[in-house]
Amino acid sequence: MLLASLLVASFVIFAALYLAPGTPLAALSGGQPLPPGSVQVLEQRYHLNESFLAQYWYWLDNALHGNLGISITLRENVSTLIASRIWTTAGLVLYASLIIVVLGIGLGIVSGLRPGRLDTGVLVVTAVSAAIPAFVAAIVLIMVFAVKLGWFPALGNGTGFLGNVKHFTLPAVALAAASLAIVARVTRASVRQESDREHVQTAVSRGIPAHRVIQRHILRNAAIPITTITGITIASLIAVAAVVEVAFSLNGIGAYLVQAAETKDIAVVQGISLLLVTAFVVVNLLADVICAVLDPRLALRDRPR
């Protein structure tokens, strides 16, 4: 399953990049027209003068042997280049996921259980934040919290754990904002829906304490849609992270993917894409497993993946 996804993705991405206009040599030389001799040597070195299928096969053969190839622009192993940046993206996505899970689910539960002013407030705030794209959120956060207030740094990774946390806070919030709103709303709706179910009403009328009703009858049942939506949004964060990384000048694999695609550095694009596809599949699989644990009726093999 995963292998099939990877193979198809690698072929489609390779083909798309091959068909896109431009040549990696243009980016390599910054658009400076190169001496014809140099062009010839470089095309030979990177197999750029061969057919599409030959180039793809050359890449695939190496990849199957665990060699992701060499970046044309940096003349360095792709795996080394990705490894040095992967923790930035992992840290950012993890931080944002934490915000989504704690704040998104938390707000959703509270506003689902307590109709009234708080609920209305959450609805308004989530409506706004769901509509703000990550790059806009990034600009607003930078201008307010970095430039005007000076609470957080405007760019870069920082050093040490505390430095990282400080540098990653604004990016993580920018990344989490829209997904957080969606998770909060879905949580609120499912909590509301479960609260109105007959067995819950019955339990309440029989005088079972509120915390037990909430825990055992409402949250337990609402947990399945909540887990599914959280899984999907977190998986999608991995792709959106690119936008945030660029806006905050973080050296993650998302920003690197953008840069590599712009310069047609095909081995790098392939390497990062495969990693993203894998992460996406794994996160969704995890969500499925959690759902199955929460509800034994859902046999894992019956669920679409």
Partner 1 sequence: MAVVAAGTMAVAACSGSGSGSASSPGHVSSAPGLAAVTPAGAKPVSSVAWATNRDVISLDPIFSAGYPEYTADSLMCESLLRQAPDGSLQPGLATVSNPSPTALVFTLRPGVRFWDGHPATSADVVYSLDRAADPKLAGYYSGRLDRIASVTATSPAQVTVKLSQPDYWLEGELSSMPGIIIEKSFAEKQGKNYGTPAGSIMCTGAYMLKSFTPGVGVVAVPNPHYWDPSVHPLVAQITLKGVPDITSLTAGLLTGAIQGDYGVGLPTLGQLKGSSAVRVDLGPGWSSDVLEIASFKGVLGNLNVRRALSMALNRQAIINSVYQGAAQLPRWISNPGTFGYGQSVFAQAYDSSPVLTQNIAEARKLVQQAGDTGKTITFGTTSQQAVVAGVTAAYQAAAQAIGLKVALRSVPAQNYIDFFVSPQFRAGVDAFPAADYGDYADPAALLAAFDLPGGSVNYDNFNDPAITAALEQARTTANPDQRAALVIKAEELTIQQLPWIPDVEPDTVLVLSKDLTGALSSTAYLFSPWADQLGGTG
Q: Which two tokens stand for residue 202?
A: 């019955």
Smallest gap from residue 31 Cβ to partner 1 (A) = 3
**Alpha-carbon span 179 to 283, nearest angstrom:** 15
Smallest gap from residue 48 Cβ to partner 1 (A) = 12
Smallest gap from residue 263 Cβ to partner 1 (A) = 7
Answer for which of 3, 4, 19, 30 binds partner 1 (CB under 8 A) is: 30
Answer for which of 249, 282, 293, 305 binds partner 1 (CB under 8 A) is: 249
Interface with partner 1 includes 28 (CB under 8 A)? yes
Using the Cα atoms of residue 16, residue 19, residue 24 and residue 26 in order, give the sign of their dihedral: negative
Look at residue 251 and give its three-state secondary structure. coil
Look at residue 70 and give its three-state secondary structure. strand
Interface with partner 1 includes 256 (CB under 8 A)? yes
Q: Which two tokens stand for residue 43?
A: 């095309």
Q: Which residue is it, tokens 């849609």?
A: 225
Q: Which two tokens stand for residue 140?
A: 């607003």
Beta bridge partners of 77: 70
Nearer to partner 1, 118 or 139 (CB): 139
Nearer to partner 1, 56 or 248 (CB): 248
Question: In one letter, which amino acid is 222?
Answer: A
- Report the chain's terminal Cα–Cα distance, integer Å: 9
Smallest gap from residue 240 Cβ to partner 1 (A) = 16
Interface with partner 1 includes 296 (CB under 8 A)? no
Q: Where are the beta strands (DSSP E) in 31-167?
A: none
Smallest gap from residue 191 Cβ to partner 1 (A) = 38
In terms of Cβ atoms closer than 10 Å to its own Cβ (0-12, 13-18, 19+), residue 89 is buried
Interface with partner 1 includes 55 (CB under 8 A)? no
Smallest gap from residue 47 Cβ to partner 1 (A) = 14
Answer for which of 10, 13, 17, 42 binds partner 1 (CB under 8 A) is: 42
Residues 143-202 that bind partner 1 (CB under 8 A): 143, 146-147, 150, 153-157
Interface with partner 1 includes 61 (CB under 8 A)? no
Look at residue 156 and give its three-state secondary structure. coil
Question: In one letter, which amino acid is 15?
Answer: A
**How big is the site for partner 1, counted in residues (CB under 8 A)?**
53
Smallest gap from residue 265 Cβ to partner 1 (A) = 10
Cβ atoms 257, 244 nearer than 8 A? no
Smallest gap from residue 79 Cβ to partner 1 (A) = 12
Q: Which two tokens stand for residue 180?
A: 């957080």
Cβ neighbours of residue 7 under 8 Å, at least 6 residues apart?
none
Nearer to partner 1, 74 or 289 (CB): 74
Q: Which two tokens stand for residue 77?
A: 């192993």
Interface with partner 1 includes 210 (CB under 8 A)? no
Answer for which of 247, 272, 276, 287 binds partner 1 (CB under 8 A) is: 247
- Residue 153 gets the label, from left (phi > 0), alpha (psi -120 to 50) or beta, of beta
Using the Cα atoms of residue 174, residue 157, residue 262 and residue 237 in order, give the sign of their dihedral: negative
Nearer to partner 1, 180 or 247 (CB): 247
Answer for which of 263, 270, 273, 284 binds partner 1 (CB under 8 A) is: 263
Positions touching partner 1 (CB under 8 A) are: 21-23, 25-35, 37-39, 41-42, 45, 73-77, 80-81, 84-85, 88, 138-139, 142-143, 146-147, 150, 153-157, 246-249, 251, 255-256, 259, 261-263
